[in-house]
Amino acid sequence: MKLLTTLITFAITAATSFAADEEKDFKHLLNGKDTTGWHLRKDKGHNAWKVEEGILKNELKKGEHGTDLVCDTKHSNFTVRYEFQVPDGSNSGFYLRGRHEIQILGDFKSGKASKVGNGGIYNLKEPSEFASKPAGEWQTVEATIIDNKITVTLNGKKIHDNVECNAGTGGQLDNNVKEPGPILLQGDHGTVWFRNIRVKELPATK
């Protein structure tokens, strides 16, 4: 019994260690209390962003328009991890460097991947497979951008692998695609919740 207990303790410790290693060098961009470290994009629409119980929420009524939320910090090459949740049909987006949109869409019922569907690099490249979860479930994303290439894993499935993206995908902050830029959360189309947004800086390439 003592040996079994020791082995279980070892396994738990090892699992915790591996999890910590996987999160090494990632910096959280949300403090779980308010939107400190972020600012509103100067855009039409009203501010519907709020933080409740550690969750960043943008809740819009049907036909209502909000505005985008922009991180104060800029990033060049990086990996970002985040979780989001959307109702059926709701539309949002997560912009890398404020220029390249990873689409967020409540499209589980469609069962079909598309360039403008959930996980698509908006209007450029559809996911390699359909990976959306139903409304009301948290979805996980890991996205890496190095120079002009984007890799994305949605809900544990790699849906983009080093996709070239040489221009803004629409709705971008500017067209300076070779320069560092901020994370931008699209907030003008529909309800979306975010949590656990964290970024890891990657070295510059030669």
pLDDT per position as a tens digit, 126-140: 999 999 999 999 999
Query: Span 25-38, mean pLDDT?
Result: 96
pTM (two decimals): 0.89
- Number of domains within the chain: 1
Tell me the residue range of the domain where 94 lies.
Answer: 28-201
pLDDT per position as a tens digit, 160-181: 999 999 999 999 999 999 999 9
Residue 52 lies in a domain: yes
pLDDT at res. 63: 81
CA distances from 129 to 16, 156, 194 (A): 31, 12, 23
Residue 7 lies in a domain: no
Residue 80 lies in a domain: yes
CATH for 91: 2.60.120.560
Residue 15 lies in a domain: no
Average pLDDT, the chain: 91
Residue 9 lies in a domain: no
Q: Could you tell me the pLDDT band of residue 32, with boundaries at 50, 70 and 90?
A: very high
pLDDT at res. 65: 87
